[in-house]
Amino acid sequence: MIKYKTREEIELLRKSNQFVSETLAELAKHIKPGVTTKRLDQIAESFIRDHGAVPGFLGYRGFPATLCTSVNSVVVHGFPSSYELREGDIISIDCGVVMNGYYGDSAYTFPVGPISDEVYQLLKATRESLFKGIEQALEGHRIGDIGWAVQNHAESHGFSVVREMVGHGLGKSLHEDPEVPNYGRRGTGTKLMNGLVICIEPMINLGTKGVRQEKDGWTIRTLDGKPSAHYELAVAIDKNAADVLTSFRKIEETVRIFD
């Protein structure tokens, strides 16, 4: 069942989601060779609590950390650990918070120092595919329009779309209806109406689309061991343009990644 949001609720969701982007911008300063993913998690948890918010993932269905830190072939849901980032790695950081009872949820994939051109192209196309999806997040369109736009962009660059994990509605719960796949057919699926708030979060692989879950019950890795990228923003459905509640602006003012 979809829970449509009032204007007041959308403003609360904007606060939560903007705060997540501030947290990711803070983390951007610390992403360099030698830093452990556990250290990034500690920085995020302190930053969130110091600002009076609560980590949204910690304890969610038993998840053990504030961040999902997913390096290279890990698609999503990686555990922070003693792993030290190395030059040439990519790391997707997915962060959730709760403020005033409403969730914020956003993810960004960062390069660690210089990366290969093909991996750079993967990041660029994945980020672009998110914005192609957002262009379709308009009143009267359908969920399938978003998935189609993401898939079309990613595949036209020779990359593949993960099917097993999808975007979602967002509100007082981290994962609400509807599901928001990153693939699909135009004109199909739930109709988008004013008051709907969704996270669009393409997970795009350099190689094949297949993934597997590790024995820890969380970590999702590409089947072929090739890298995967992930970007996520929350949007409220509106008439002429989606109301994007999160922003990558602060992250991208902190670290310059794309031309």
Q: Is 199 in the site for Mg ion (CB under 5 A)?
A: yes
**Burial label, 157 (beta-carbon count in 10 A; 0-12, 13-18, 19+):** middle
Place of tokens 């304890």: 59
Q: Which two tokens stand for residue 36?
A: 């452990």
Q: Backbone phi, then psi, for 38, in 5-degree steps?
A: -65, -40
- Which CB sits closer to Mg ion, 71 or 107? 107
- Which CB sits closer to Mg ion, 101 or 187? 101
Residues 6+ positions from 119 with CB-CB distance below 8 Å: 90, 111, 206, 227
Stretch that binds Mg ion, among 91-99, 154-162, 176-184, 220-228 (CB under 5 A): 91-99
- Which CB sits closer to Mg ion, 160 or 182? 182
Rounded Cα gap, residues 204 and 150, in angstroms: 9
Q: Is 176 in the site for Mg ion (CB under 5 A)?
A: no
Residues 6+ positions from 151 with CB-CB distance below 8 Å: 129, 161, 182, 183, 184
Stretch that binds Mg ion, among 7-15, 17-25, 113-121, 196-204 (CB under 5 A): 196-204
Site string for Mg ion, 105-124 (x = CB under 5 A): x-x-----------------
Q: Is 220 in the site for Mg ion (CB under 5 A)?
A: no
- Which CB sits closer to Mg ion, 115 or 130? 130
- Which CB sits closer to Mg ion, 27 or 199? 199
- Which CB sits closer to Mg ion, 112 or 233? 233
Q: What is the 3-state secondary structure (H, E, C) of 91-157?
A: EEEEEEEEECCEEEEEEEEEECCCCCHHHHHHHHHHHHHHHHHHHCCECCCEHHHHHHHHHHHHHHC
* 225-244 positions binding Mg ion, by CB under 5 A: 232
Q: Is 162 in the site for Mg ion (CB under 5 A)?
A: no
Q: Is 94 in the site for Mg ion (CB under 5 A)?
A: yes
Q: Is 145 in the site for Mg ion (CB under 5 A)?
A: no
Interaction site with Mg ion (CB under 5 A): 94, 105, 107, 199, 232
